[in-house]
Amino acid sequence: MRAIKLVFLGLLLASLALVAVLAAGSHASGSANRGPWHAAGAAGPLLLYLAAVALSNRAIPSQPSYLAGAFAGGAAGCIQLVHMSLEAFGSHLGDRPPITLAFMGAAFAVWLVAGIRAGLLHRQFRASVVVSVWSAACTMMVAVTYGLVLSACGFPDPAYVATWPEFPQSGWSDAASFAVANSFDAVFSNLLAGPLIGLLIGVVAGTIVAACRAVTNRQQAHLHSR
What is the pLDDT confidence band of residue 33, given thresholds at 50, 70 and 90? low
Of residues 7, 213, 32, the one with CA closest to residue 123: 213
pLDDT digits (tens, 9 = 90+) for 6-31: 999 999 999 999 999 998 875 555 45
The answer to whether 171 and 33 are in contact (CB under 8 A) is: yes
Cβ count within 10 A of residue 72: 26
Q: pTM of the full predicted structure? A: 0.93
> In one letter, which amino acid is 218?
R
Q: Give the span between the Cα atoms of 108 and 194, in whole angstroms.
A: 10
pLDDT digits (tens, 9 = 90+) for 49-71: 999 999 998 889 899 999 999 99
153's enclosing H/E stretch is none
> In one letter, which amino acid is 127?
A
Percent of the chain surpassing pLDDT 70: 92
Show Cβ contacts of residue 43 under 8 Å, excluding neighbours closer than 6 positions.
Answer: 16, 19
Of residues 212, 43, 72, the one with CA closest to residue 130: 72
Q: CA Rg, the chain, in Å?
A: 20
Of residues 139, 135, 119, the one with CA closest to residue 127: 119
What distances in angstroms separate CA 102 from CA 80, 108, 212, one per listed residue? 10, 10, 27
Taking residues 167-175, report their average pLDDT.
84
The answer to whether 150 and 88 are in contact (CB under 8 A) is: yes
Of residues 219, 108, 210, 156, the one with CA closest to residue 166: 156
Degrees, nearest 5: CA angle 177-195-86:
50
Q: State residue 173's pLDDT score.
A: 82
Taking residues 153-176, report their average pLDDT.
87
Q: Where do the structural domains in the chain lie, given as residue ranges?
A: 2-225
Degrees, nearest 5: CA angle 103-72-45:
80
How many residues are present in the chain? 226
Degrees, nearest 5: CA angle 50-205-81:
50
